[in-house]
Structure 1
Amino acid sequence: MKYSSREKNNYQKEACYENFICKSCGCLVVPEGAGSHHRNHCPNCLNSVHVDNLPGDRAANCGGIMEPISVWVRKNGEWAIVFRCSKCGHLSSNRIAADDNPVKLMSIALGPLARPAFPLHEIGGARHAL
């Protein structure tokens, strides 16, 4: 898979103002709506491409799709997305962007409630054991 010049630059200390096409959904992604100088994922599907070993270094040669698997809340109350590479399993986290799809974010956040890791009908019995 070939990458544009966006992936070849080092964005650890400089802002990225380049547009790109999402490798997953084909959406044109522009940095202006992100509310940040470091756009790294598609605001539509929230997927990214595994191009960094460290944020902004563009040193990873994997190129796998980074899929959003969870969200978490930082100490300052800001939401961040947890990504997992579909090719190598690498995990990373990045803050949400101002123009991220709110329905997709809530779907990811509510996923564990919709698909619990244990049978819900057993909660009643476990509660009485305490």
Structure 2
Amino acid sequence: MPRKRNPRGPRPQRRKPAYRTSTGADGAPHAASGAFRCLGCGLDVPLAAPGTAHRNHCPHCLTSRHVDLRIPGDRRSACKGRMEALSLTARPDGEWLVIHQCRTCGALSANRAAGDDNALALLRMALRPLADPRVPVRAMIDH
């Protein structure tokens, strides 16, 4: 059944709230804002994350920002570069860690996977070595 057309024309759009985060001079979010903007996909990411106390990567694309220097949550790094998710590793207790590399300074870091991270992105990263024709699958299965 076709929809009826409004005789007065199209309805005007309602104003939508603008979700913006306040940032400091270095581009890092203020603690009071409760969110940060992803450098990879532009998604507004809440700081609260299930399974981790210090969120520093996007749950959608897993891109991070080089903010921590030595201790998770210290936010002392001066680099502030974009960190690309390279691979995954697992702790002996089964917890997954995302390995990031800074595109600015080359530093590597391991970040706990949060409970709301994109499961498809995590699985794609975990299966990446199996899709690489240069890596013999037989060698990975034997170990």
TM-score (normalizing by structure 2): 0.69
Bigger relative contact order, structure 1 or 2 (CA pairs below 8 A, ≥6 apart): 1
Q: Does 1:115 align with 2:132?
A: yes
1:100 is paired with a residue whose SS is coil
TM-score (normalizing by structure 1): 0.75
Instruction: Work out the CA distance in 1 between the residues paired with 2:93 and 2:33.
Output: 26
Instruction: Work out the CA distance in 1 between the residues paired with 2:40 and 2:89.
Output: 23
Q: Does 1:26 align with 2:50?
A: no
Q: Give the CA deviation at 1:36.
A: 2.6
Higher helix share: 1
Q: Give the CA deviation at 1:119.
A: 6.7
The percentage of aligned residue pairs carrying the same residue is 44
Instruction: Work out the CA distance in 2 between the residues paired with 1:49 and 1:25.
Output: 13
Instruction: Structure 2: state its 5+ residue gaps.
Output: 1-24, 139-143
Q: Does 1:63 align with 2:80?
A: yes
**Residues 62-83 of structure 1, C-alpha deviation per residue, up to 9 Å, x if partnerless?**
1211111110110111111111
Aligned length: 113
User: Structure 1 residues 113 and 78 mapped into 2: Cα distance closer, same or farther (>3 Å)?
Assistant: same
* Runs of 4 or more above 2 Å deviation: 31-37, 116-120
Alignment RMSD (CA, Å): 2.4
What amino acid is aligned across from residue 74 of structure 2 in structure 1?
D
Q: Counterpart of 1:73? A: 90
Which of 88, 100, 110 is the matching residue for 2:105? 88
**Residues 14-68 of structure 1, C-alpha deviation per residue, up to 9 Å, x if partnerless?**
xx98211111111011134433321111000101111111122222111211111
Instruction: Work out the CA distance in 1 between the residues paired with 2:39 and 2:85.
Output: 14
Instruction: Work out the CA distance in 2 between the residues paired with 1:90 and 1:79.
Output: 20
Instruction: Work out the CA distance in 2 between the residues paired with 1:64 and 1:116.
Output: 31
